[in-house]
Amino acid sequence: MTLHIETPLVRSDILSDLVNKDIRLKLDALQPSGSFKIRGIGYACEHHAGRGAKAFLSSSGGNAGMAVAYAGKKLGIPVKVVVPETTTPRSIGLLEEDNAEVIIHGTSWLEANILAQSIMTDETAFIHPFDDELLWLGHSSMIDEIHTTEFKPDLIILSVGGGGLLAGVIQGLMKNNWEDIPIMTVETAGAASLNRSLKNGKIVELKKITSLATSLGAKKVSEGAFQLAKDHKITSTLVSDLDTLTACERFLSDHKILVEPACGAALSPVYNKMQDLRNFNKILVIVCGGSTTSIDDIRNGITALTN
């Protein structure tokens, strides 16, 4: 048994016709916690439960925290999530619905995380949102599932925050002897930590995040993800916040699935018919999901950016 589900891989006729290519969607928006994160976090939580952890701790008010809350609920292990005051009531509500104890502390993630570290005990497992090899192994199951189908993509498009998803996908490709498949990484311009790092040949820490795609808002990618990315064929792409919001709105209309801007980023190259797609025909988009926004947030964001 795993805490994640095997998700559908579907051909999108609408997107395929739009760019005149074969576009397939890996629908991880349908995971029980609302995003792909339960793959890796579920795997890590099961691992820690197996070695006797009595509590799980997270400092993410986003999809990582939600995945930890869901995993703890399913495994019968109590979960504490420490979040900064900036966390929306909506996110706190979702965490509490899954029985997590939410501790609100500090004005930034940094302060929340310091408190989280200070309440750690020997029996607590701290679950990092992206920088953990257990997570990457869990995320790699996504590629295992695609490998069992007849479809071999010639390009994979995914979004990047701290690089956990990217690291998991690259490891999944290596495991399945698919390391020849190139990846298009997508970030918003205000959260371009991987893009800047690849350009500089070393990890660059951003001074601040200026993107509405909050789930992509890691100031720097993990060392492990950066090393894997450096050795893989990567096209690093930047899109605007407006692109990602528009992609979310169009995707809802086209496929009846609401995803958050972090995921709209991965859909943007197709909706924007980007030139970088011209040499590829069988394109897999990882629809990573996300529960941190509502359609009203997305529409209000579009209005604010176009006025």
Ligand X SMILES: *Cc1c(COP(=O)(O)O)cnc(C)c1O
Query: What residues line the site for ligand X (CB under 6 A)?
Result: 35, 37, 63, 130, 159-166, 215-216, 218, 260, 262-263, 288-290
The nearest distance, CB 281 to ligand X, in angstroms, is 25
Q: Which is nearer to ligand X, 38 or 116 (CB)?
A: 38
Distances 202 to 184, 236, 261, 294 between C-alpha atoms, Å = 19, 15, 27, 36
- Residue among 83 and 218 whose Cβ is closer to ligand X: 218
Residue 222 burial (C-beta neighbours within 10 Å; 0-12, 13-18, 19+): buried
Length in residues, the chain: 307
Q: How far is the CB of 260 from ligand X (least distance, A)?
A: 5
Of 89, 3, 99, the closest CA to residue 45 belongs to 3
Residue placing its CB nearer to ligand X in the complex, 69 or 216: 216
The Cα 39–Cα 283 span in angstroms is: 22
| Shortest reach from residue 306's CB to ligand X, in Å | 23
Of the pair 15, 213, the CB lying nearest ligand X is at 213
Q: Match 């925290």 to its residue by tokens.
A: 65
| Rounded least distance, CB 52 to ligand X, Å | 27
What's the closest the beta carbon of residue 177 comes to ligand X, in angstroms?
A: 23
Q: In terms of DSSP H, where are the helices of 20-132? A: 37-50, 63-75, 89-97, 109-118
- Give 122 or 231: the residue with its C-beta nearer to ligand X: 231
Q: Indicate the residue among 126 and 130 with the shorter CB distance to ligand X.
A: 130
Q: Of 119 and 295, which has the nearer Cβ to ligand X? A: 295
In the chain the first and final C-alpha atoms are separated, in Å, by 49
Q: How far is the CB of 31 from ligand X (least distance, A)?
A: 10
Ordered strands of the 79-83 beta sheet: 101-104, 79-83, 55-58, 124-126
Q: What DSSP assignment string belongs to 157-211?
A: EEE-SSSHHHHHHHHHHHHTT-TTS-EEEEEEGGG-HHHHHHHHTS----S----
Nearest distance, CB of residue 98 and ligand X, angstroms:
15
